Amino acid sequence: MHFQENISLKKFNTFGIEATAKYFASFKNVSELEEAFKIDPVSPLILGGGSNILFTKNYDGLVLKNEISGISIVQSDEDYVYVKAGAGEGWHKLVMYCIDHELAGMENLSLIPGSVGASPMQNIGAYGVEIKDFFHSLEAYHLEGKKISEFDKSACEFGYRESVFKGKYKNQFVITSVTYRLNKKPAFNISYGAITEELETMGIHEPTIKSVSQAVINIRSKKLPNPTEIGNAGSFFKNPEIIGQDFLALTAKYPGIVGYQLPNGHVKLAAGWLIEHCGPEVGTSWKGFRKGDAGCYTKQALVLVNYGNATGDEIYALSEKIIASVNKKFGVLLSREVNLV
């Protein structure tokens, strides 16, 4: 392994925030990971695709980039095919692999930036589908026990953008590989968002795995900024969940409010709608707001952006103002999906 000192992390986070790591190295297998932890057994920060992180300061320790690669089919039965991927693989590359092999389940999660290892950690999701819907198991290196442990779906305790790796096991494991259970026979989920409309625009009357994926790619390309062009981490906030009674009260006051009924009787609100209908001043909107190089994207209020040289502190300060204004107007407290460092 090659350890570097005082390395810029700008190209390793999709926000494009300038921050420095005191030490930096990448690992391609468990042996290299073990070697790195001998150098710094306490404070390493593990980076995947850097698509869900906001650096608000330099990192005074060791940053390790997970580059464990490989995608392969490891098992199949009458209904399912099991695909295993290294945690350092790009997420969209894995999705395309499954689509090319006509394996269903991931198509709604096309074009999401980031790495395979982050997918179960965050229980990533989009357009009515989450990782937990087709997750099978993962392998993770236990830092204290110095061994690989396996987690099935139940052990991961998936929640909305949550898992045990963000909660009780935070900083205790490094995910090294993930295995997904894909369907041989697709059961499409195209009712969420604008997928049906996009398929119609494409002239598709009988959806396929590939066409649904392309529809999602088209939608995301239209409404979300490309991180290589405008720094961002995708959705900055989670969609908040409230009880049904509170939703009825909000609907009476704001008839256009967007919410999705949940099986438990609660309602998940569209955070983007809430943000768009608030602003720094009465009668204005956060959508399209910009101060310096920190802003709220013009096409999707849920996305905070770095137009060039914004600092992490400036992005964070903007998020604080948005949270406060949404809470003041709607009585709803937003929480960040992005991890702060």
Percent of residues, the chain, with pLDDT higher than 90: 74
From 89, 139, 161, 325, active-site residue = 161
DSSP class of residue 238?
P
What is the SS3 assignment for 300?
Answer: coil
Higher pLDDT residue, 75 or 282?
Answer: 75
Please confirm, yes or no, whether 161 is among the known catalytic residues: yes
How far apart, in Å, are the Cα atoms of 307 and each of 15, 229, 231, 236, 295? 9, 9, 6, 15, 7
pLDDT for 79-101, tens place per residue?
999 999 999 999 999 999 999 99
From 211, 235, 319, 325, active-site residue = 235
Please confirm, yes or no, whether 157 is among the known catalytic residues: no
Strand partners, 27: 66
Higher pLDDT residue, 52 or 318?
Answer: 318
Alpha-carbon span 284 to 254, nearest angstrom? 16
Record the pTM: 0.86
pLDDT for 229-275, tens place per residue?
999 998 999 999 999 899 999 999 999 999 988 888 899 999 999 99
Phi, psi of 39 (to 5 degrees): -75, -45
Residue 41 — very low, low, confident or very high, per pLDDT cuts 50/70/90? low
Give me the amino acid identity at 259: G
Strand partners, 294: 291, 306
pLDDT for 274-299, tens place per residue?
999 999 998 899 999 999 999 999 99
Please confirm, yes or no, whether 337 is among the known catalytic residues: yes
Among 248, 267, 271, 251, smallest CA distance to 259 is for 267
Strand partners, 148: 141
Q: Domains, the chain, ranges and CATH?
A: 4-66 (3.30.43.10), 71-223 (3.30.465.10), 231-340 (3.90.78.10)
